[in-house]
Amino acid sequence: MLCTQLAQDGGFGGSTAFLSLGQALSDVDGNVDWTCDRREFFNTLGQLVVPRNLGERIGEGLDPCAAIAIAFQMDVGAHAEFVFSLGHAPTLIAASAILTGASGQNALKREADVTSYWNTLLGNCTVQTPDPLLNVLVNRWFLYQAISCRMWAKAGFYQAGGATGFRDQLQDAMALVWSAPAMLRAQIVTCAARQFPEGDVQHWWHAPTGAGVRTHFSDDLLWLPHALAHYLRATGDSEVLELSLPFLEGPAIAQEAEDAYFTPGVSSEQASLWEHAARTIDASLRVGAHGLPLMGSGDWNDGMNTVGREGRGESVWLGWFLCHIVANMAPLARQRGEVERALRWEAAAALCKAALLSSGWDGLWFCRAYFDDGEKLGASANAECRIDLIAQAWSVPPTRWSPMSWRPMSMAQRLIRGRADGAGTPVQPA
């Protein structure tokens, strides 16, 4: 049973889904019915029914489905095994080739091969804790979900649209740095090619056309150097920095607009992966009245899209994020002879840190952001969002580029310890 999509919407015209019953491995004879019309399973009252026979309906104007029914008799003690194949291919010819190849292999052997693949992939890195349930989640389930649901299906609890998120899939791929570093590498390369020459990137896009949104989100672009540094620290694969990748080209966001949805072209301008990553930092050094990075239309929290809508709102969390990225990337810039760029980044990070410890500090904790009008968000005087963990969890910048030098919970732990002591005195920033 084959179904080919004729419409070209979304760039998927010609792709073919298939459902097939392979050879029945049994000593029984059976009759096979099929249909592509889901309405055969409902009566005139709309109630679900099991039809005696399927009508083998196919064509346009149906309620599409794929259903196969087998009616057969078995003698006592007989054995029957049926193999079904369900899949998708970019063309009708490719679908037929997949079916032919699958039917020529033992189904149990193919199942064993798939099981072995997942066991190897999910077993590359394991963590043992006193909690067996946590071990199962961390060692297998979370990684499986990151790959099958997020990286492949482009879906999740809060993202089921099938698009690739610049920030989202980079975050997901970072979890695979020990188990499947090649997947992280591929995602970094893919995302770098979704960048405009100015340094900003598509917030999300749909394959294969590349249609997506150009936005004022302030954090998206910075996940590229963050993921790249994470990958380099784990693998030492410095050759990836020299890959030459194109930029996108397309219209700038209209004045007063939050975003622009369009299908960008591919620019003739190309640059190394290093340059792509470095431009994101170059484009992120602008600050507001308090010396903090501009919020834009969101900074990891998409729900804060009105905090800096007018272009003056500032983000405390983004300040910590930027300081962390500069600490990792500036040494690489020096290694490549880009001393002036490294000094510019470090000077901006130093000013940002000073602003974080002054304007960002609220007496008991770090506030979350400043609105366009200068009002604080996440401060002790706020009725809502009085404290946001992520502004505290990133509050201790590393002193050197080392996996052990970054302790993201230090400030949060100090806050908890200070309140538990009952002393009632504010915990001062580090």
Same domain for 110 and 251, yes or no, is no
Among residues 117, 148, 179, the one where a domain terminates is 117
* Structural domain harbouring 278: 133-349
The H-assigned helical ranges of 243-388 are 273-282, 316-335, 339-358
Regarding whether 145 and 11 lie in a shared domain, the answer is no
Q: Express each pLDDT in 26-84 by its tens digit.
A: 444 567 889 999 999 999 899 999 998 899 888 888 898 999 888 888 889 888 888 88
pLDDT at 238 (0 to 100): 96
d(CA 1, CA 57): 11
Question: Does residue 84 share a domain with residue 205?
Answer: no
Is 146 found in the same domain as 256? yes
Structure token digits, residue 100: 């032919």
Give, as one character, the DSSP assignment of residue 302. Answer: G
The reply to whether 91 and 161 lie within a common domain is no
Confidence at residue 21, expressed as pLDDT on a 0 to 100 scale: 83
Domain count, the chain: 2
pLDDT at 47: 94
Give the CA angle between residues 228, 229, 230 to the nearest 5°. Answer: 90
59 and 144 share one domain: no
Please tell me the distance from the alpha carbon of residue 382 to that of residue 386, in angstroms, as a whole number: 5
Q: Given 117, 147, 182, which residue is the final one in a domain?
A: 117
Whether residues 222 and 332 fall in one domain: yes
Whether residues 55 and 200 fall in one domain: no
Instruction: Please give the pLDDT value at position 213.
Output: 97
- Asked if residue 285 belongs to a domain, the reply is yes
Instruction: Give yes or no: residues 208 and 70 share one domain.
Output: no
- Name residues of the chain where pLDDT drops below 70: 23-30, 157-159, 396-430
Q: 177 and 98 in one domain?
A: no
Q: Are residues 138 and 258 in the same domain?
A: yes
Residue 82 domain-assigned (yes or no): yes
Q: Which of 307, 322, 349 marks a domain boundary?
A: 349
Burial level of 86, CB count in 10 A (0-12/13-18/19+)? exposed
Q: Are residues 320 and 251 in the same domain?
A: yes
Give the CATH number, domain containing residue 170: 1.50.10.10
DSSP E strand boundaries for 223-305: 244-249, 259-262, 265-272
The answer to whether position 374 is within a domain reads no
In a domain, 400, yes or no: no
Q: Is 142 contained in some domain?
A: yes
Phi, psi at 273, each rounded to 5°: -60, -40
Q: 313 lies in a domain?
A: yes
Token pair recorded at residue 46: 């709309």
